[in-house]
Structure 1
Amino acid sequence: MAGMATASRGRVTMQEHMAIDVSPGPIRPIRLISDYFPHFYPFAEPALRTPDPRPAVTPAIPSAPQPQLDLEPEGDSDDSTALGTLEFTLLLDADNSTLHCTAHRAEGLKPPASGSVDTYVKANLLPGASKASQLRTRTVRGTRGPVWEETLTYHGFTVQDARRKTLRLCVCEDPRLRRRRGAPPLGELRVPLRKLVPNRARSFNVCLERRRLTKRPRSLDTARGMSLYEEELEAEAAGEERGRILLSLCYSSQRGGLLVGVLRCAHLAPMDANGYSDPFVRLFLHPNVGKKSKYKTSVRKKTLNPEFNEEFFYAGPREELAQKTLLVSVWDYDLGTADDFIGGVQLSSRASGERQQHWRECLGRSDCRMELWHPLDGAPLQLSD
């Protein structure tokens, strides 16, 4: 009986057992699961790090120069969107009003779904009609590191254009070998041109990006919205820009008259359903005093950047020509229907700005050829006696 009493006293009742489990002692805070993993972020709590008994000394590392953010190509450059790199050089020739883009090479291109690696570089100026500013290099076949070393030139590109234009470069599959006509490019990038230094070349070697798909670029930020699909911007710019024409004027003292040269046009507005035009130029010296007051150039088929290099002559003394107006108009040739007016420009002593200056300087200097780009007006030319 005494042994049973001793065993009963050694046992713990159910009530006492529950009391022990419920009240084990002072409650300590439970550590989060993230506390057991290392932190690599600058905002990690310092209490979780083991203090270093050694004094903290920052090594002297030369700081890298800060990039010019408003000239760097736009877009993301993380590993999820990197599709290779493109090396190119830009040069804004302010003296000749040209923009040169030299495509050097690409590296690490991602093979397309078709398996072919036959690529070329396509360039566009934004905003604006895509086909009017669309240039491309030749195709390099069978390599993920193509070398082009080819220069694409935009004529009639001024410093004022650089302030509001962006250059879009795409690395594309050869359209003759592409199985899907609507396939996106292998990669693209956009470079704002507003900070280019005139007459100074600048080289780039940057990552290509995927094309961002969006239906409403206007709802996004300005920096990103301009770099997305340009269809809306092209529609807005179509009503603003009609193109430009390069004219040369020279008063010949030997022939006793004015030589007018129609050299070329650039970025003309498309008038045909295929996105191009068949442009030609008409000249008219007003008021009309003879049958030789009207001329026109030949027609250039399916182009928005025609080159004419044709010259016409108007006889007359310098004083008489100073009282006249030269009307230059660009038209789209249509077979069987009326030609479409693209744009025009008037040069006279009563004009304003560079148009007046060009006219007066050519008549004020004999045997001096002067070339100048003139923007085209979309409104029909008005004649006045």
Structure 2
Amino acid sequence: MHDFAVPLSMQGHVHLRVTWSPMGTPSPSSAGRPAGGTTGHLPASTMTMRHAKVEASPAVREAFAQFDRNNSGRLDYRELRNGLRTLGLDVTTEGAASVLASYDDDNSGLMELDEFARLCQQLGYVEARPVGTTPISTSRQPWRPGGASRDWPPPDRRADAVRSTPDVASAIRNADPERLNEKGVLSVHLKRGIGLKAADLNGKSDPYVIVSSGSHEKKSRVVKKTLDPEWNEMLEFEGSLKDFLSHGLLLKVMDKDTFTKDDPLGDVQVSLEPLRSTDTHDFLESLPTKGSVKFTVSWKPVAEQLLSRGTLHVHLSHATNLKAADRNGLSDPYVKLSLKGQQHKSKTIKKTLDPKWDEGFEFKGVLRELISEPLQIDAFDYDFGKSDDKLGNASVDLSVLKSTRMHDFAVPLSMQGHVHLRVTWSPMGTPSPSSAGRPAGGTTGHLPASTMTMRHAKVEASPAVREAFAQFDRNNSGRLDYRELRNGLRTLGLDVTTEGAASVLASYDDDNSGLMELDEFARLCQQLGYVEARPVGTTPISTSRQPWRPGGASRDWPPPDRRADAVRSTPDVASAIRNADPERLNEKGVLSVHLKRGIGLKAADLNGKSDPYVIVSSGSHEKKSRVVKKTLDPEWNEMLEFEGSLKDFLSHGLLLKVMDKDTFTKDDPLGDVQVSLEPLRSTDTHDFLESLPTKGSVKFTVSWKPVAEQLLSRGTLHVHLSHATNLKAADRNGLSDPYVKLS
């Protein structure tokens, strides 16, 4: 339930109360007030205290610091759920999310200390008071579930429920001060406009949006003849978080006109300050003219190498066992290489099925953009006086360059044979590879060259490795994110930047989860020489800890007085596994499929093109993308959302059927692909680049966002229209005869 005093665009305010009644629950009374007086999972008295500033008592601070497992200074819904359970409250995951939403006044998706203090006050669990009032008591007031007369939690559990107040300051110190300097990608998911101004004679508009932050600017697509456009488009900007925060985000909504200047429909400037503490924030912003715009902004740090400009060198070495296209049982092969609109053609090698080209080609641009789609290879047999015969094609996924500057490929062609090539990345200002296509320095990211031979070797973690891993794993998830890895490596004396840590993580992240597993950490330790680690199945080199010595120092590192802080006992690893979130599978929420683009699709129409769209389904859920006309490389850039439980989505996986739209005949299939959603067990987002069985590939990202159960329930939204004040006078008598339309 919420009360609104809504300013009208001309003059005055309309006052109303909005109440949600899930199916099967009592409707609000005729006065618009809920029959039971409850708000979510909270007491009715919460409504009067919801926005009152509350000062946290020492006991509240202690409990908050204990619940705050990742020392972020804020609680997410899982931390709140687990914490409330230690107080004897039987709270579900969705219930905790609903409670958090009830007190999340800044819509950050996280609970601040003062918000937690208000919750404690309403529950009566610990003493908390509105700022400026006299304390009710300086002692802890335990909440007693079910009217029990005994104190709760029991005395033997209280020591585990809180920790000393100074730890709160420690949690603040352990917040991430380098977040502002991160380089990465700011994504603006432009969802929809609602009730926009009519700018055309037909009473409609053709709206689009110009989104900018500082010098960055991008334009959305135009949606024709509507006042409620559904853009559902993702616009991405590369830069540093600090710069984006300093400029904020400006959205200019425009009406597209063919023969005259486009009309402004209103603009809105928003602050990006929420991104200081959370990676995603939702906006619903009113325009000064009429209507509103709904969008989501998210931040994703990216290894610095991916944002660098430079040259992608492709050394075309040779091919083996190609198809024979000529009567002599041989071919005259050559190859075309295509990437991001750039194309190169090799020389022709006469009369062979095993040509040796030994040729180099260059593609210039930003690494992240270049590797966002595959390198296309088309092989041909040269024929004099007639069209050349095709020998096959292939797509090469270049995402491996996220973690290494050089990689060798043996690429199978669609018809027969293999093409062998080496791909090398040279950032601007660094030496190009030699004529043989080999990097001059032979390095791989931030890691020793020897790493290449160990990258995929399964390594058994020694007890010392497990100890260090458990200490680095601050949130007890059983995996390290790039910040935990960065902070941990610094305790070992390594001067690692945020982007450097992200790059190191990517170098060992074989499952592309964005997190470092224990065995991946063991391989990193082995290459750094910091602690003993060995490939599975081999004899241990040593059972003792082998400290890494930075800069050739002869003394042990870290110093003896720091080692106690660098590791913790091995049993904590098992504890970390126990503390992982077992209820994730039962979460209800939204599965978002960001359908990005198709690459090199099959031609289904006589014009050599297709009109592709995609049907995306998971179990009984199904949605269809928009159609992109006359292309083999469609840019859908569309977000499709499905509501349900993570467990159900994992059991069904995701099916994408790519189709060609036809007007008078049945739509033609261009290929389909079924993918597993298992990565969502451990991460909220996963990128896919999937080849189709016919031709080409599809690029998309799948993400999971839990939602309070209430938000997914069916029911009735009750609007109690109370009164209006100070309306505009429309009649000669200086009054009006007002009525209201709600839609």
Q: Which band: TM-score by shorter chain?
A: 0.3 to 0.5
Larger radius of gyration: 1
Structure with the higher fraction of residues in helix conformation: 2
Structure number with the bigger relative contact order (C-alpha 8 A, sep ≥ 6) is 1
TM-score (norm 2): 0.20
